[in-house]
Structure 1
Amino acid sequence: MRISELANATGVDLETIRYYEKQELLPAPAREDNGYRSYTVEHLERLSFIRHCRALDIPLADIRRLVSFIERPAEDCGDINSLIDQQIARVKARLKSMKALEKQLSQLRAQCDNRHHGKECGILTELVSAAHGEACACHSDG
């Protein structure tokens, strides 16, 4: 199959497929006489695997490690467990950060009672004040 067919079958755009090839996550395809890339079912399966890992927000470096385990299935899967444990820790840290962001935005939203406009808006006042404080801190760092 051609790259456009592979892209359509997996929902991965052409440039991303080429990038994965350059990163050696996806094996280089054979070339037809006319120079077109010729992809196989194995490419489709590998690309689907990569896409699924990316949907789980697994970094490319970790996907590379997972692919190496696929290529050598006799190896112990303890490293795979460790890799996924690390991903879980990253997700938990991101969730904690998102909760803090939600709290900050909720506090900001509480600054407005819908009775004021423009310069009197509590949200705008708070945002301008915070931005001014950051600008002053940056300016004083010199």
Structure 2
Amino acid sequence: MGGGTTNTYKTSEIARIIGIHPNTVRLYEELGFIPKPIRQPNGYRIFTEFHLEQIKLVRIALQIEVLQNGLRKNAISIIKLSAAGDFDNAITLTDNYIKQIRTEQNNAEEAIKIVKELLRGNNKKEVGLLLSRKETADYLHISIDTLRNWEMNGLVTIKRKQNGYRIYSENEINQLKIIRSLRCANYSLTAILRLLNTLSENPNADIRTIIDTPSDNDDIISVCDKLLTSLGKAQANALVMRKQLVYMKKTINSNPPL
């Protein structure tokens, strides 16, 4: 509809170009993901190149699956800054967002390294260590509720004394250290259980592969069940987001929405 940066589009046209339903365009407007378009006297919305490129950014950003530690919230903030035409701050936030993703990746990889060291027995052995549930929680710097949750989810089985109280030996505490390391890096309980079950059958199994590969029998798979893969996709998407923002800054900054 014309040339250069003066192109305008109806709702149906911009939806067709992007490949989404017109209702999705209206939803993005309601959520503040795109600038509010002007309306003709008959009520029809008129969209510009800004809207077109902004919707492309939204589609890229919303592909990111990882939700932990505010990653999704940051992606939404980037979208809204761009929608307001504040490309400089959107790019700055994207750079911080990429750094955060890389930190999460480092934490995930470091947790695997710690698990390998624990399994090799490189950590200090606490020979004869026998602790109560509270003592174990204090020893591992976790809450009793967290410890109870891990037990209820089958991550660790604890023996009981004759009086019915649980007693945590060196083996259980070492296993709890593995669970703690993986949970601190945001691996899901399902992924950790999958790893522990595999290692009980095959101590030489590749930890990195097992922790990141959901079973075919899993009916529902969360992003943290394949954390390494999800973080990798998040980083790739964030880099594309940044490229899109730089492009928008160069081509649209002097051409705000009508």
TM-score bucket of the superposed structures, by smaller chain: 0.5 to 0.7
Query: Is 2:210 the counterpart of 1:70?
Result: no
The answer for the alignment partner of 2:138 in structure 1 is 8
**Deviations along 1:78-133, whole A, 9 cap, x unmatched?**
685154374221112344577759x99xxxxxxxxxxxxxxxxxxxxxxxxxxxxx
Is the Cα contact below 8 Å between 1:26 and 1:43 reproduced in 2? Answer: yes
Q: TM-score, with normalisation over the residues of structure 2?
A: 0.34
The answer for the alignment partner of 1:111 in structure 2 is none
Q: In the aligned structure 2, how far is the partner of 1:98 from the partner of 1:5?
A: 43
- Decide which moves more: 57-66 or 89-98: 89-98
Q: Which runs of 5+ in 1 are unaligned?
A: 105-142
Query: Superposed, which structure 2 residues align to 1:5-84 within 5 Å?
Result: 5-33=135-163, 35-73=164-202, 77=205, 81=209, 83-84=211-212
Q: Which runs of 5+ in 2 are unaligned?
A: 1-130, 214-225, 246-258
Number of residue pairs matched by the alignment = 102
Letter in 1 for 2:170: V
SS at 1:30's partner residue? coil
The answer for the alignment partner of 2:52 in structure 1 is none
Q: Which has the higher helix share?
A: 1
Is the Cα contact below 8 Å between 1:6 and 1:39 reproduced in 2? Answer: yes
SS at 2:158's partner residue? coil
Q: 1:83 to 1:37 in 2, by over 3 A?
A: closer
Is the Cα contact below 8 Å between 2:192 and 2:211 reproduced in 1? Answer: no
**Deviations along 1:21-55, whole A, 9 cap, x unmatched?**
1111011331342x321111111111100011112
Q: In the aligned structure 1, how far is the partner of 2:171 from the partner of 2:181?
A: 15
Q: In the aligned structure 1, how far is the partner of 2:143 from the partner of 2:186?
A: 17
Query: Superposed, which structure 2 residues align to 1:57-136 within 5 Å?
Result: 57-73=186-202, 77=205, 81=209, 83-84=211-212, 86-95=226-235
Task: Choose between structure 1 and 2 for higher RCO, CA contacts under 8 A separated by at least 6 residues.
Answer: 2
Q: TM-score, with normalisation over the residues of structure 1?
A: 0.58
SS at 1:37's partner residue? coil
Query: Percent of aligned pairs with the same residue?
Result: 18
